[in-house]
Chain A
Amino acid sequence: MYPGGSVKKDSLYIAILAGMLTATAYASTPGVDEETWPELSLGDLMKVGVESASRKSQAVSNTAAAVFVISASDIKRSGALTIPEVLHLAPGVEVARLGNNKFAVSIRGFNGRMANKLLVLVDGRSIYSSLYGGVIWEAENLPLEEINRIEVIRGSAGLAWGSNAVNGVINIITKRAQDTAGWLVDTHAGTETGKAGLMLRYGIKDEDGAAFRVTVNEQRRDGGKEANGKEAQDYWNDTSLTFRYDRPDGVDTRWFFSGRVFDSHSDETWMIPTFDPAAMYDATQYGATRRVPFVSRRNGGDLLGRFEQTTDGGGEVRVQTYFEKFQGDVPGASDNHTTFDVDAQHRFPLGESHDIVWGGNWRQTEHKNHMQPGGFLTASRPDTTVNLTSLFAQDELTLVPRTFSVQAGVRVERQTFGGTSPQPSVRALWTPSEQHSFWLSWSKAVRSPSVVQRTMGAYAVAIPGAPAVLVYAAPPEQSGFGNEKVRTLELGHRAQWTPTLFSDLSAYSSKYEGVFGILSQSTALNTVIAPVGFGGDAACTAALINFGLNPAAPGVCVTHLYGNALPVRTRGVELSTEWNPLPVWRLQLNASRMWVDAGNNTRYEANTLLYSSSPKYQGSLRSSYNLSTDSQFDLWLRRIGGLAHASDYGGPSAMTPVAARTELDLRFAEQVNESLELSLTLQNLLSKSEIQFHPDYMPTQPVVPQRTIYLKALWHDR
């Protein structure tokens, strides 16, 4: 455990680091002569340090959308050990930790452990859970060293990526096997989330340019502390084996295959309401709840194949398919599913000014969910198959070459629960010079209902300080909860002010229709409250028996009719800038501000969650400094606004408020020789032992993230 912090200690660390930094910088070797640079040999050029400029390159040029690219170098220098932590590098991405093994990640609001308006893909494979809606981050432990880049697209992107790309898309792209030849060992040891990690990778290349790699990874993270100082149950261990094979076939054809098997287990504590007065619970802390610690285990695997061909006219055909099997459990229920997906698209230029893309996708997910009496959730239909089919076409019309283009298209999608819905989009891009671009877009996207939302029977809610509540969604499926829809208007400006100063500004306004919630009071089947026992309501009695509970126990039973209840509006601005004051020094400043308006409907569970799920503002400053050609010093400072208090919107007043927080990470790395890099990372230095987020419908006990310090060695035989 890292020692507790105070002002003096924090300042001391900084002072020591500043000293180290100054000393090393003066001792550094002189760089290359500016006059004779064109005469450098190829061999010399390959040794010159160059910061990856993928951000500028991909953003400025051709995209009429808010895009941010996180490069492999950004990932490495961030010191992060998990994908959610890495995502905080992008502006406007909300990342909160519910513990060392639980994350809430979203873009532009609606955050939650199961944030359902964000689509996440790994090499084109969706990791969005159609059971819960959202990403189970504990199952996604792709070794960070395998990632080539992460493209973060903010805003509605249903046309390009299909349903659930409501507020954004996160596209994780792994390295080509050609770029990972040889042996690599990446290992770390330290405290907390940096407890221990070992990754081994071996890659080979053949004469034809084909390449193969295989990677094994094992990572262990320790538990943190609960808000009251108790040791928390939130360790997280995982093991995975991944491979990737890339094979070019002639000049125009490329094949790519990848796969993974993994096993991950983590523990957590759920606060499950007790309806039995004799059961043990701590009423002062948590209301009428019982602490249920458990170990959750997830395992599975996937296989992916892709075929790409360049056509004679300069177009491209891409066909991809994958198969995935997943098994995971939570108290009283398990999530077993298999997914099969086929995706095809064809892009081709038509005449001088048209660029057409069209294609289709078919996905089938077969769920077998086992519900046990005594769990926290019952479902009306545990075995469900979800089908998703879509077709799309878009045209990018260049009106003035290199200066003005308009892109328009539509995707029509059909999902088992959501039915058929069109997702159109129109975008315009004006590039008056290579240094400036302005864009404007209007798009419509949908989120299809998750299995849980459609087949939920009943679940128990634990609200600290409030009596236990059994929520009974009755009768299941009657509400016919369908697609949530959003219309988004966005505009942006990107500028390369000087070769060393870049800025990217975007603003948006999104109007959501039919966000999941409790239907209005005026509806007859809305809410039935039976405050004294459950005997008064037949539906609740049935639900209690289903849970294996005593129907005569005291508590509150709420019968809800869920549906497309809420209109919501969000607006915001996002800024990201990058400045290289020196070739060896890079500064990145990101900031975002958001306004949410979900009306004044004050019932808990509906809009109170929306108001209290996302910070109003976020800011991040990153400094990457090369002290010499062999050593790096990185500093990452973040400021995240507090979460609105649920009681301000009619929610339970006993909930601990989530205050604004400042986070600081430092990293110092030294290239010992050509093959070995050692680094020391200190994370969360300003931790004040406060929770960062409240659980949403999974009643997990939030854990306070601790300071982490770890030492890492990266060795490769190149």
Chain B
Amino acid sequence: MKNTPGFLLSLVLVLATMAALPCRAELSELQVKSAYVFNFIKFVKWPASAVKPEGRIRLCVIGSKDLRASLATLDERRVGEYVLHVAPYPDSTEELNDCNVLYIGEHEQRRHLQIIKSLGNAPTLTISDIQGFAERGGGIGLLHRDEKLLFEVNLASTRKAGLQLSGQMLNLSANVFGK
């Protein structure tokens, strides 16, 4: 191919120009997910039997060590009327019943339905970016649409857990299942 060298040179120039551009502050996907999790807590009210007002919210993250590390930077921060406590990476699934918020990362995709079912009526807000999570009985699902990260809610599932979700959050939700 005769014109390859000339073309490749141009390509290298274009790529070099791109790389030389000042790096704009953009959020990484992990930060966006962390910020979502942090924000959801502001819009959810746990039953007083589970979390006292002004109490600590126990957040567990499984199936994504990266996300756990990102959320750990927010440990002990005030969030709405609660204080966030990021729990250590759980060793067994039995500990999950004590979580007020449970984020299920993609590495637990195989077991995620089993985990949701095993929680029963426990006052746990489940969040995940696994495809179809909210539709399949999860609490809040994160979904990609048009290169944006959106969320959808399954009200039947959060109601079962005794959680109250604010109307403001539901208005922003891409989909609401089980109304």
Q: Are chains A and B native binding partners rather than an unrelated pairing?
A: yes
B66–chain A nearest beta-carbon distance, Å? 6
A176–chain B nearest beta-carbon distance, Å? 8
A357–chain B nearest beta-carbon distance, Å? 11
Tell me whether B136 and A310 are in contact (CB under 8 A): yes
Residue of A nearest to B116 (CB): A314
Residues in A45-76 with C-beta less than 8 Å from chain B: 45-54, 57-58, 60-62, 71-73
The answer for the CA separation of A686 and B32 in the assembled complex, in Å, is 39
Q: Report if A205 contacts B (CB, 8 A).
A: yes
Per-position binary interface string of chain B over residues 121-162, scored 1 when its CB falls under 8 Å from any chain A CB and 0 otherwise = 000000001010001110000011111111110101100100
Tell me whether B23 and A582 are in contact (CB under 8 A): yes
A498–chain B nearest beta-carbon distance, Å? 10
Query: Within 8 Å CB of A14, what residues of B?
Result: 7, 10-11, 13-14
The answer for the CA separation of A367 and B145 in the assembled complex, in Å, is 41
Tell me whether A660 and B1 are in contact (CB under 8 A): yes
Query: Within 8 Å CB of A17, what residues of B?
Result: 14
Residue of A nearest to B39 (CB): A42
Query: Within 8 Å CB of B14, what residues of A?
Result: 14, 17-18, 21, 635
Query: Within 8 Å CB of A176, what residues of B?
Result: 135
Q: Report if A717 contacts B (CB, 8 A).
A: no
Q: Report if A11 contacts B (CB, 8 A).
A: yes
Query: Within 8 Å CB of A22, what residues of B?
Result: 17, 21
Tell me whether B29 and A207 are in contact (CB under 8 A): no
Given contacts A32-B26, A209-B177, A248-B177, contact A46 B150 (CB under 8 A): yes
Tell me whether B27 and A48 are in contact (CB under 8 A): yes
Tell me whether A40 and B177 are in contact (CB under 8 A): no
Tell me whether A38 and B156 are in contact (CB under 8 A): no
Segment touching B, from A130-138, A249-257, A327-335, A558-566: A249-257
The answer for the CA separation of A685 and B15 in the assembled complex, in Å, is 18
Query: Within 8 Å CB of A48, what residues of B?
Result: 26-27, 32, 148-149
Query: Within 8 Å CB of B177, what residues of A?
Result: 208-209, 248
The answer for the CA separation of A49 and B174 in the assembled complex, in Å, is 16
Per-position binary interface string of chain B over residues 158-179, scored 1 when its CB falls under 8 Å from any chain A CB and 0 otherwise = 0010000000010010111111
The answer for the CA separation of A47 and B32 in the assembled complex, in Å, is 10
Segment touching B, from A23-31, A386-394, A459-467, A646-654: A23-31
Interface centre among B9, B26, B29 (most CB of A within 10 A): B26
Query: Within 8 Å CB of B115, what residues of A?
Result: 314
Q: Report if A637 contacts B (CB, 8 A).
A: yes
Tell me whether A37 and B31 are in contact (CB under 8 A): yes
Residues in A1-21 with C-beta less than 8 Å from chain B: 5-7, 10-11, 14-15, 17-18, 21
The answer for the CA separation of A34 and B27 in the assembled complex, in Å, is 7
Query: Within 8 Å CB of B2, what residues of A?
Result: 7
Q: Report if A375 contacts B (CB, 8 A).
A: no
Size class of the B contact interface (CB-based, 8 Å)? 35 or more
Segment touching A, from B49-57, B95-103, B106-114: B106-114
Q: Report if A229 contacts B (CB, 8 A).
A: no
The answer for the CA separation of A7 and B147 in the assembled complex, in Å, is 35
Contact partner, A31, options B25, B34, B114, B117, Cβ 8 Å: B25
Query: Within 8 Å CB of B38, what residues of A?
Result: 38
The answer for the CA separation of A156 and B64 in the assembled complex, in Å, is 30
B79–chain A nearest beta-carbon distance, Å? 9
Given contacts A10-B7, A45-B36, A73-B144, contact A53 B29 (CB under 8 A): yes
Q: Report if A372 contacts B (CB, 8 A).
A: no
Given contacts A61-B107, A635-B14, contact A7 B172 (CB under 8 A): no
Residue of B nearest to A718 (CB): B146
A675–chain B nearest beta-carbon distance, Å? 11
A-B contact count (CB 8 A): 212
Given contacts A254-B135, A434-B65, contact A52 B113 (CB under 8 A): no
Query: Within 8 Å CB of B83, what residues of A?
Result: none
Residues in B40-96 with C-beta less than 8 Å from chain A: 43, 63-66, 74, 77
The answer for the CA separation of A637 and B9 in the assembled complex, in Å, is 13
The answer for the CA separation of A312 and B74 in the assembled complex, in Å, is 35
Contact partner, A584, options B24, B35, B109, Cβ 8 Å: B24
Tell me whether A34 and B25 are in contact (CB under 8 A): yes
Q: Report if A316 contacts B (CB, 8 A).
A: yes
Tell me whether B64 and A315 are in contact (CB under 8 A): no
The answer for the CA separation of A25 and B14 in the assembled complex, in Å, is 12
Tell me whether B24 and A585 are in contact (CB under 8 A): no
Q: Report if A161 contacts B (CB, 8 A).
A: no
Tell me whether B113 and A11 are in contact (CB under 8 A): no
Contact partner, B28, options A21, A45, A58, A583, Cβ 8 Å: A583
Tell me whether B116 and A30 are in contact (CB under 8 A): no
Tell me whether A662 and B4 are in contact (CB under 8 A): yes
The answer for the CA separation of A421 and B64 in the assembled complex, in Å, is 41
The answer for the CA separation of A40 and B32 in the assembled complex, in Å, is 9
Query: Within 8 Å CB of A73, what residues of B?
Result: 144, 146-147
Query: Within 8 Å CB of B9, what residues of A?
Result: 11
Tell me whether A355 and B110 are in contact (CB under 8 A): yes
Tell me whether A30 and B149 are in contact (CB under 8 A): no
Query: Within 8 Å CB of B129, what residues of A?
Result: 57
Query: Within 8 Å CB of B21, what residues of A?
Result: 22, 25-26, 582
The answer for the CA separation of A312 and B113 in the assembled complex, in Å, is 9
For this complex, 14 residue pairs linking A to B, each with C-beta atoms less than 8 Å apart, are: A14-B11, A38-B35, A40-B39, A43-B172, A50-B29, A50-B147, A58-B109, A73-B144, A178-B152, A179-B175, A209-B178, A250-B156, A499-B28, A661-B1
9 closest A-B pairs by beta carbon, nearest first, are A314-B114, A14-B10, A209-B177, A583-B26, A314-B117, A57-B106, A7-B3, A314-B113, A52-B144
Residues of A within 8 A of B (CB): 5-7, 10-11, 14-15, 17-18, 21-22, 25-26, 28, 30-34, 37-38, 40-43, 45-54, 57-58, 60-62, 71-73, 176, 178-179, 205, 207-209, 211, 248, 250-252, 254, 310, 312-316, 349, 355, 396, 402, 431, 434, 499, 581-585, 623, 625, 635, 637, 660-662, 664, 686, 688
Taking A179-B174, A208-B178 as known contacts, 18 extra A-B pairs with beta carbons closer than 8 A to each other, sorted by chain A number, are: A11-B7, A14-B13, A15-B10, A18-B13, A21-B14, A22-B21, A25-B21, A31-B24, A32-B25, A46-B149, A47-B148, A48-B27, A49-B147, A254-B135, A499-B30, A582-B19, A582-B26, A585-B18
